[in-house]
Chains A and B, each alone.
Chain A
Amino acid sequence: MDHLDRGEELELEQIELELLLEGIHRRYGFDFRQYAPASLRRRVRRRMDGEQVETISALQNLLLRDPAVMERLLLDLSVNVTAMFRDPTFFLSFRTNVVPVLRTYPFARLWVAGCSTGEEVYSLAILLEEAGLSDRVRIYATDINEAVIERARLGVFPLDKMQEYTQNYIRAGGTRPFSEYYVARYDGAQFGRQLIDSVVFAQHNLVSDAMFNEFNVITCRNVMIYFAQPLQEHVHGLFYDSLAMFGVLALGQKETIRFSPYESCFDELDAEERLYKKVR
């Protein structure tokens, strides 16, 4: 494409990207058209490298004909490289500010929206177990991608991460030996059956699926950073509708309820840790 100057090439890439997303939507039903463009472009480019194609159009050609390519792109688009007890101070605050609220209910539901490979899910399951709430709080963990849900459901994480996770766990206020929660198997750490069984895993698409239950807590940390603003507003609406009155919404460290249309419906429970309470 030597005859194209750089500006034209970028414009062409933009057209190709829009066509690709349109094609994915019509062929597979996944709607990425309102994803934030910068990361989306990087992730699509990574898939192009993986499939060894030079252009987005060539990727589209493969992808429309071969669902396996779509599955691989879906994986690129739904995996968050995160850690158990990421942001330990968030979990400290959760223990202090959310656990007492949960104690007041005979039964409560917590939704981890966009759970990816499950690091956050198991962190919360451990926290609730230590608070003595396992029997009274049911965790629902959802993701757009069946494959990552399957992985999350296994409850196996890389053994070489356990040192880091243990440190996070301690900083998050954990009081037991972290190694009590898993068994080392080959190079994997298998988390206990009891933790896994405390979670309902299900496929759910934040973009296109409706609310499916009423929740007392919704955590959606570092998921909406991949969405453009109109889609973020849509998802905030879904969360607002899905939260019980005085329910808690937890967002990622760089995210905020401020500037969303629902800002006035929430009080800050802990602004620094992005914990908000629905009050109207």
Chain B
Amino acid sequence: MNYDVIAIGASWGGLEAVGTLLEGIPQQLDQAIVVAQHRTPESGRGVLASLLQRHIGRPVSEPGDKEPIEQGRVYVAPADYHLLVEDGHFAFSLDARVQFARPSIDVLFESVAAAYRDRAIGIVLTGANEDGAAGLAAIKRNGGVSIVQDPRTAARSEMPAAALAASPAAAVLPLDEIGPFLSGLCCP
């Protein structure tokens, strides 16, 4: 099976978790990685991208509207926008917050599920709300792969627990095992 996109959603405690996850991504994995991390609307432009850049060699950036999605890159949803994917490029919206969040993980994941179907992988990490649960279920329903950080290892367990409740068949893994698991999926 081939995959095109790895979508990651994180909230409370996510900065550290996403960093650790990116560090564990094997070099040969060339899928585009898209991250939705909850944060305040005032969070500075490009700040999260530059923080995450310290954890991984490949380029990390906030995409622009309709920017093509390229393999081997990491994209970060900007603060106070919903980030969506369409066929081969990014799109944005200023629709209402979903579960108090913009960027919303559900919005990103549902667009990933519709555009990439069985070529999508979704990962829900630490957080203290239920965002991402519906989106991860959508990825699974469309034939993609769902992964949830083991709630017992998460800084906040509510979000991964909610994702797991909505996607009982998801792979449940601690952060350091997600990289090798992706490797097994994508480069068998």
- A6-B142, A255-B64 are known contacts. Are A81 and B96 too (CB-CB below 8 A)? yes
Interface check A97, CB cutoff 8 A: no
Interface check B110, CB cutoff 8 A: yes
- A36-44, A172-180, A189-197, A236-244: which one contacts chain B? A36-44
Q: How far is the CB of A45 from chain B (nearest CB, A)?
A: 9
Interface residues on A, range: 20 to 34
Q: How far is the CB of B15 from chain A (nearest CB, A)?
A: 21
Instruction: Report yes or no: A38 in contact with B95, Cβ–Cβ below 8 A.
Output: no
Interface residues on B, range: 20 to 34
Interface check B180, CB cutoff 8 A: no
Instruction: Report yes or no: B95 in contact with A43, Cβ–Cβ below 8 A.
Output: yes
* Residue in A closest to B45 when the chains form the complex, CB atoms: A253
Interface residues of A in 230-264 (CB under 8 A from B): 232, 252-256, 259
Interface centre among A6, A37, A42, A86 (most CB of B within 10 A): A42
6 A-B pairs closest in CB distance: A38-B84, A39-B93, A225-B92, A38-B111, A80-B94, A81-B96
Instruction: Report yes or no: A6 in contact with B143, Cβ–Cβ below 8 A.
Output: yes
User: A37, A86, A225: which contacts B65 (Cβ < 8 A)?
Assistant: A225
| Chain B binding surface SS class | loop
Instruction: Report yes or no: B64 in contact with A42, Cβ–Cβ below 8 A.
Output: no
Q: How far is the CB of A212 from chain B (nearest CB, A)?
A: 25
Interface check A61, CB cutoff 8 A: no
A255 vs B141: C-alpha distance in the bound complex, in angstroms? Answer: 33
A94 vs B82: C-alpha distance in the bound complex, in angstroms? Answer: 25
Interface check B86, CB cutoff 8 A: yes
Q: 1/0 contact trace for B84-116 toward A, CB 8 Å? A: 111000011111110000100001001100110
Which residues of A sit under 8 angstroms from B96, Cβ to Cβ? 81
- A38-B85, A38-B115 are known contacts. Are A226 and B93 too (CB-CB below 8 A)? yes
* Residue in B closest to A43 when the chains form the complex, CB atoms: B95
Instruction: Report yes or no: A36 in contact with B94, Cβ–Cβ below 8 A.
Output: no
User: A6, A41, A43, A232: which contacts B66 (Cβ < 8 A)?
Assistant: A232
Residues in A lying within 8 Å of B, measured CB to CB: 6-7, 10, 36-39, 41-43, 80-83, 86, 222, 224-226, 229, 232, 252-256, 259
Q: How far is the CB of B61 from chain A (nearest CB, A)?
A: 12
A141 vs B152: C-alpha distance in the bound complex, in angstroms? Answer: 53
Q: How far is the CB of A279 from chain B (nearest CB, A)?
A: 22
Instruction: Report yes or no: B64 in contact with A81, Cβ–Cβ below 8 A.
Output: no
Instruction: Report yes or no: A225 in contact with B94, Cβ–Cβ below 8 A.
Output: yes
Instruction: Report yes or no: B91 in contact with A225, Cβ–Cβ below 8 A.
Output: yes
Interface check B38, CB cutoff 8 A: no
Which residues of B sit under 8 angstroms from A42, Cβ to Cβ? 84, 93, 95, 107, 110-111
20 contacts between A and B (CB under 8 A): A6-B143, A7-B117, A10-B117, A37-B86, A38-B86, A38-B93, A38-B114, A38-B115, A39-B82, A39-B95, A42-B93, A42-B110, A42-B111, A81-B94, A224-B65, A225-B93, A226-B93, A252-B65, A255-B65, A256-B65
Instruction: Report yes or no: B141 in contact with A6, Cβ–Cβ below 8 A.
Output: yes
Which residues of B sit under 8 angstroms from A226, Cβ to Cβ? 93
A188 vs B93: C-alpha distance in the bound complex, in angstroms? Answer: 26
Instruction: Report yes or no: A253 in contact with B95, Cβ–Cβ below 8 A.
Output: no
Instruction: Report yes or no: B143 in contact with A36, Cβ–Cβ below 8 A.
Output: no
Q: 1/0 contact trace for B55-70 toward A, CB 8 Å? A: 0000000111110000
Interface check B3, CB cutoff 8 A: no
Q: How far is the CB of A233 from chain B (nearest CB, A)?
A: 11
Which residues of A sit under 8 angstroms from B78, Cβ to Cβ? 253-254
Instruction: Report yes or no: B114 in contact with A10, Cβ–Cβ below 8 A.
Output: yes
Which residues of A sit under 8 angstroms from B45, Cβ to Cβ? 253
A42 vs B104: C-alpha distance in the bound complex, in angstroms? Answer: 13
Which residues of A sit under 8 angstroms from B95, Cβ to Cβ? 39, 42-43, 81
